[in-house]
Amino acid sequence: MDSCSSNSSGRQPSSVSSGQSREYKLVMLGEGGVGKSAIIMQFISHRFPEDHDPTIEDAYKTQIRIDNEPANLDILDTAGQAEFTAMRDQYMRAGEGFIISYSITDRRSFHEAREFKQLIHRVRRTADTPAVLVGNKSDLQHLRQVSREEGQGLAREFQCPFFETSAAFRLFIDDVFVALVRQIRQHEKEAVIAMERKSRHHTSVWKRLKSPFRRKKD
Ligand SMILES: Nc1nc2c(ncn2[C@@H]2O[C@H](COP(=O)(O)OP(=O)(O)OP(=O)(O)O)[C@@H](O)[C@H]2O)c(=O)[nH]1
Ligand SMILES: [Mg+2]
């Protein structure tokens, strides 16, 4: 899925008055300096940090409506710098959805994106985790090292939505978070359907097992 060419969600974050909404634990991943904090800051407070102030770990909360349903987002901004990554396994287990980000101006960060996906897989022991792939700094076209097609190809591999964003110009920033919440909701719906199917299967096995007894009683 690729939504680079238009603002696909057609929504802006808006406040939700109800305290009833479901909380979504989102984790922002990516190499140091790709713009993780800048993306979150633009999303939450429409601000762009010009300087690179390496993150150790920050948490943000916001309330929005997505597809007419309220959502409390609990966003964890993680450290890209290797020396601050001690908590990685814990937040990979606790997160419900992951934004895997790289910079289109930094090929190494693109390779790291695959490493992050593999790490999520290893820690959670499933390839089936809601995620969105993001190629940031799309405003720096003259410094581009990773083509849009390569990003789309990796997203196909990950089977997840893909956006090229610019935190500097607030391009496709909302779309990333909307797509991730949609992924989580879809994932939950599929889990419920699978459970119902399993429970129907158990019921029919039980009925079959019980039938000789019933005949005896008759
Ligand atoms: N031109 C441009 N610069 C950006 C963009 N996003 C972030 N930057 C700049 O890139 C630098 C790093 O941004 P951060 O958001 O601090 O990067 P980070 O991924 O949070 O870095 P760590 O916390 O060290 O992992 C800053 O100087 C930002 O101003 C963007 O979309 N376009
Ligand atoms: Mg940061």
For residue range 107-122, list pLDDT tens digits in order: 999 999 999 999 999 9
CA distance 183 to 214: 46
134 C-alpha vs ligand 2 centroid, how far in Å?
15
CA distance 65 to 135: 25
Q: Is the pLDDT of residue 3 over 50?
A: no
pLDDT given for residue 118 in this prediction: 95
Nearest CA to ligand 1 atom 30: 137
Nearest atom of ligand 1 to the alpha carbon of 38: 15
Q: With 0-12 CB in 10 A as exposed, 13-18 as middle and 19+ as buried, what is 16?
A: middle
CA distance 77 to 99: 10
Nearest CA to ligand 1 atom 13: 35
Is 0.95 topped by the overall pTM?
no
Q: Is 117 in the pocket of ligand 1 (CB under 6 A)?
A: no
Nearest CA to ligand 1 atom 29: 50
In terms of phi and psi (left: phi > 0; alpha: psi -120 to 50; beta: otherwise), the region of 172 is left
Q: Is 109 in the pocket of ligand 1 (CB under 6 A)?
A: no
CA angle 59, 188, 30 (to 5 degrees): 35
Nearest atom of ligand 1 to the alpha carbon of 169: 31
Nearest atom of ligand 1 to the alpha carbon of 80: 25
As a whole number, mean pLDDT of residues 65-91 equals 89
pLDDT digits (tens, 9 = 90+) for 23-40: 999 999 999 999 999 999
pLDDT given for residue 87 in this prediction: 82
Q: With 0-12 CB in 10 A as exposed, 13-18 as middle and 19+ as buried, what is 102?
A: buried
Q: Is the pLDDT of residue 98 over 80?
A: yes
Where does the pLDDT of residue 9 fall: very low under 50, low under 70, confident under 90, or very high at 90 and above? very low
Lowest mean pLDDT across 27-31, 45-49, 84-88, 134-138: 84-88
Nearest CA to ligand 1 atom 11: 52
Where does the pLDDT of residue 212 fall: very low under 50, low under 70, confident under 90, or very high at 90 and above? low
Where does the pLDDT of residue 213 fall: very low under 50, low under 70, confident under 90, or very high at 90 and above? low
Nearest atom of ligand 1 to the alpha carbon of 166: 31
The domains of the chain, with CATH numbers, are 11-217 (3.40.50.300)
Question: What is the DSSP secondary structure assignment for residue 94, as one 8-state letter?
Answer: H
Number of CB atoms found within 10 A of residue 29's CB: 29
CA distance 55 to 43: 17
Between 62 and 90, the higher pLDDT residue: 62
Neighbouring residues of the ion ligand 2, judged by CB less than 5 Å: 36-37, 55
pLDDT digits (tens, 9 = 90+) for 154-190: 999 999 999 999 999 999 999 999 999 999 999 999 9
As a whole number, mean pLDDT of residues 73-97 equals 89
Residue pair 73/99 in contact by the 8 Å Cβ criterion = no
138 C-alpha vs ligand 1 centroid, how far in Å?
12
CA torsion 83→56→34→85, rounded to 10°? 40
Within the chain, where are the H helices?
Answer: 36-45, 88-94, 107-124, 148-158, 173-217
Between 59 and 6, the higher pLDDT residue: 59
